[in-house]
């Protein structure tokens, strides 16, 4: 039960951070995005990618805390859930962003989750 709670908490946290940051970016840089959500700004795309990685690290750290002890199952559940939803969303926007962004976004989700758990473990020692 704790595994599911940990993964769900991490997933909800990642989603809230992601949607909130995207809303904030569109308010702070209103002319940077087109109506379809795309942008020509490589800097903005890189910032969005770094935010995704940061949110994965945070979600992994929180999931590891909630799971306590052996969090491996919760982290894999969280990582795979983020990847599954990420693939679905990236397919919707595939033509709007550069290939490097879409691939890095997906590739970094699971390692980011596990990096967050490692940071949590390192802070405990």
Q: If you write DSSP's letter for every residue of 94-118 in order, what string do you get?
A: TTTS-HHHHHHHHHHHHHHHHHHHH
Give the confidence band of 121 by pLDDT, cuts at 50, 70, 90: confident
Tell me the two tokens of residue 20: 């909130």
pTM of the full predicted structure? 0.92
Percentage of the residues of the chain whose pLDDT score is greater than 90: 79
Position 17 scores a pLDDT of 99
Tell me the two tokens of residue 93: 């926007």
Residue-wise pLDDT tens digits, 12-57: 999 999 999 999 998 999 888 888 888 889 999 999 999 999 999 9
Rounded to whole angstroms, how far apart are CA atoms 14 and 95? 24
Residue ranges covered by each domain of the chain: 2-124
């Amino acid at each position: 039960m704790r595994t599911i709670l940990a993964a769900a908490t991490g997933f909800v946290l990642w989603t809230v951070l992601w949607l909130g940051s995207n809303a904030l970016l569109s308010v702070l840089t209103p002319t940077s995005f087109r109506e379809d959500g795309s942008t020509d700004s490589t800097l903005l795309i890189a910032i969005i990618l770094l935010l995704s990685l940061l949110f994965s690290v945070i979600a992994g750290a929180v999931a590891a805390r909630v799971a306590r002890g052996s969090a491996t199952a919760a982290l894999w559940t969280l990582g795979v859930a983020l990847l599954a939803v990420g693939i679905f969303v990236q397919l919707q926007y595939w033509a709007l962003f550069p290939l490097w962004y879409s691939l890095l976004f997906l590739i970094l989700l699971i390692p980011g989750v596990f990096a967050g758990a490692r940071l949590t473990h390192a802070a405990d020692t």
